[in-house]
Amino acid sequence: MEYDDAKARFSAIANDPESPWSETADYLVARTLIRKASLAKTEDIAKPLYEEAGQHLRRFVSSSGKFSDSSEKLLALIKYRVNPEERVRELANQLAYYGGNQNFRQDLIDYTWLMDKFESKALQDEDDRLRSQAEAETNSNKSDVVQKDDSAWNEDAFQKRIRGETLNFFIEVSDSGASSNTNTAGTSKMFTFASDRSIEEIRENVEQSIGRQLTTDEIRMIENAKSESYRLKTSFRSRTDRGDQYSGEVKVSLRLLPEFLREDEVTDWLFAYQIVDTDAYSYSLSKYKQSATELWLMTALSKATSTSVEVTRLLGAASRVSRTSPAFPTIAYHTARLHYEQGKTAEARRMIDDVLALPAELPVSSINLFNALRQKMSSTLDDYLRFALRRPFAFDFDGTLGSIDEFVAEQKKWFDPDYNKEGREAYEQKVEDEFRNERLWQDRQMFDYRTVRTVNQYFPQSVLIDAYRSPALPEYLKERFAVAIWTRAALLKDNATADRFARELMSHHPELAEQIRSLMAASTPTAREDAVLYFMVKNPLLTPFVEDGLGKTDNDAEVWDINDWWCEPSDSVYDEEVGDLVELSSYLKPGFLTRAQIETAARERASLKTVGDAPRYLANSVLAWARRSPNDRRVPEALYLMHKANGWSKWGCGSNFDLQKELGDILRRRYPSSNFTQMMLKDELDGQ
């Protein structure tokens, strides 16, 4: 585009006092210069253009007032680009002003981006320093030569991984040729895949490459790698238009930040509050001692531990903070946390209960934090369940956060008359139907993943039953407890509990009443065993573990669903808050559980680990049933459903192709005319 020509033409109009467009053209001279500068290839070219635009705008007077605000915004943009250090301080002062300003939203965006820019530069400088230091040490002592091509590949691969574009993991194998997706190292292969590949695709590729089936732990490792790539991609996505974003391993600390960021209290405080290390506590404490403000008291408390120096002084000051102070909820939370860490549980409980009883509304996320802390101090099961309940502040739909109503409204906008031939009304009703179950949860409370894992790790069957009967457990959560209790009882051969909870299961799933009555009518132990097995095979909603999230909604064994049945419980899981694998045994044991109850839970969990993955366990049980009672009319259907179940992966179990082949062979050989054999053959032709 000919910016110089445009500028000359606008200047000519601006200098014509008779033109009605003189004022507009004068303003557009500056706009043209800024546009040209923004497209410049180097900073050296852009800077003088921005400076010229700034000089022009400072001379420009909007006689009509029409361009006054716009010219101020352009001057702010120029300062943002040319003098970012000055602009970040200016923005901090503007944002801290209680009265606010008309350009608050854009000022906040600019301020945040500038802070990120300076933080990223500080981290990158430190990264470069550490790399140079490491290279110098390596060059002075190295005995091996690093190939440049390998180094370039590693850097490129690293950058793709941290952007969430790829995922990688190592699989132990015997020495063999590597595929194009692998990098062999000793007896391990590093596999790298695009992050948009499905887990099933990755699994099939890996198993074909190594010539064997993956273990449960290996599959879970792939799932963790997939989850991590998604996390990296979503965190990187919002900043892809800012090329200065640091993405290395150096962690931010106060010592790395440039001094000019520490000269303004708002910026200084924001960085200090977000940094988590001992230096941040010492710094916050010193700032509080200098200023005696609630701002720095709150910050110091947030970084203190029960053994931090002068923590008693901070707690004393915290006790004098007015409940009407904006800082009070945060100060109260960390006061309660520190009391809890000091073993002063009664004081901590009292503080949290008082805050939760306040008439002032707290944000949903704050209430969840108070409940989570209070949950740790529960002395009874009812208390534990009551404080375990969390209300989501948002839902995640394909990486977008919002309410269920917002997702429904957004999907209704996707109506396309060329594609949705049924018409707008029918299309919108279809969207409503798809979100019917999710909408029920929009204002409900639920358990978070840590609570569910704790329940499944430490609650024996007897405590699960007590929880089911507890008035603290909402009715809509009782269903998943009833399912877990019945299934666990059936797997552990506890017929008395299974019979008792069969009725509870019917009350939550009346559509299963006929099947349940049929199995309860079994007249012999063998008949009972066959009926229970058939019931489990037919109903993939069954699991011996309490489900998290929104629970299961699909119960069609013929339709693939990632959460059908259950997988063998793992001793380690990926924890989102920690950002890594953790041992489940590291999760806090609820204080109200007795040693005997915890030991019973461990024995039950060990038995369930022996049962293992549902697709394998149920398939082997069906094979035994087919050998024992080949003429039972239910056997062909059970064989077919298990053949289907072992052809896919359910979060790390299934895809047992040897078992699937055995099931298919029996169907072909013994039941060639069965409808279920024909369905299996059709599935195979369709590539399912």
In angstroms, what is the C-alpha Rg of the chain? 32
The residues near 350 (Cβ < 8 Å, ≥ 6 apart) are none
SS (H, E, C) 378-396: CCCHHHHHHHHEECCCCEE
Residue type, 36: K
pLDDT at 98: 63
Contact 33, 49 (CB under 8 A): yes
Domain boundaries, the chain: 3-82, 155-237, 254-379, 380-391+444-556+568-607, 396-440, 613-688
**Residue 73 in tokens:** 């915004």
Q: How far apart are CA 501 and CA 515, in angstroms?
A: 14
Gap between the Cα atoms of 79 and 305, Å rounded:
42
Name the amino acid, one letter, at 435: F
389 φ, ψ to 5°?
Answer: -75, 130
pLDDT score of 320: 97
Token pair 């029996």 in the structure block, residue = 666
* H or E stretch covering 110: helix 104-141
Q: How far apart are CA 26 and CA 56, in angstroms?
A: 9
Task: Give the distance, in angstroms, between the CA of residue 33 and the centroid of all CA atoms in the same chain.
Answer: 44
**Amino acid present at 264:** D
Cβ atoms of 592 and 380 within 8 Å: the answer is yes
pTM: 0.76
Inter-residue contact 238 to 231 (CB < 8 Å)? no
One-letter-per-residue 3-state SS of 538-565? HCCCCCCCCCCCCCCCCCCCCCCCCCCC
Q: Which residue has the tokens 């001094």?
A: 259
Smallest Cα–Cα separation from 476: which of 508, 453, 503, 499? Answer: 508
**Could you read off the pLDDT of 24-81 as tens digits, one per residue?**
999 999 999 999 998 888 889 999 999 999 999 898 887 788 888 888 889 989 999 9
Cβ contacts of residue 275 below 8 Å, gap of 6+?
A: 252, 253, 254
Both tokens of residue 251? Answer: 């962690």
Spatial separation of the C-alpha atoms in residues 314 and 325, rounded to whole Å: 16
Question: Where do the H-state alpha helices sit in 319-393?
Answer: 328-341, 345-356, 364-376, 381-388
Q: What is the dihedral of CA 271, 276, 282, 288, to 10 degrees?
A: 50
Tokens 């916050």 map to which residue? 284
Distances (CA, A) of 321 to 227, 292, 316, 350: 42, 12, 9, 16
The pLDDT of residue 146: 35
Cα(463)–Cα(381) distance, rounded to whole angstroms? 8
CB 275 within 8 A of CB 312: no
Give which of 75, 96, 100, 98 is closest to 87, Cα–Cα.
75
- Under 8 Å CB-to-CB from 461, ≥6 apart: which residues? 485, 488, 489, 492, 494, 497, 600, 604
pLDDT tens track for 145-204: 333 334 433 556 656 666 677 888 878 776 544 444 544 444 567 788 888 787 878 888
| Percentage of residues in the chain having pLDDT higher than 70 | 90
- pLDDT under 50: residue ranges of the chain: 142-153, 176-180, 182-186, 237-241
In angstroms, the CA 359 to CA 158 distance is 50
Per the CB < 8 A criterion, the answer to whether 23 and 63 are in contact is yes
CA 27 to centroid of chain Cα atoms: 47
Helix axes 614-628, 525-538, angle to 10 degrees: 140
Classify the phi-psi angles of 26: left when phi > 0, otherwise alpha if psi is within -120 to 50, otherwise beta.
alpha
Of the CA atoms within 13 Å of residue 293, those in its CB half-sphere come to 11
Helical segments of 142-254, H only: 148-162, 199-210, 216-237
User: In Å, how far from its chain's centre is CA 530?
Assistant: 41
The per-residue pLDDT for 238 is: 43
Reported residue count of the chain is: 688
Is residue 667 within 8 Å of 674, Cβ to Cβ?
yes
Q: 3-class DSSP state for residue 430?
A: helix
Q: Are 635 and 625 in contact (CB under 8 A)?
A: yes
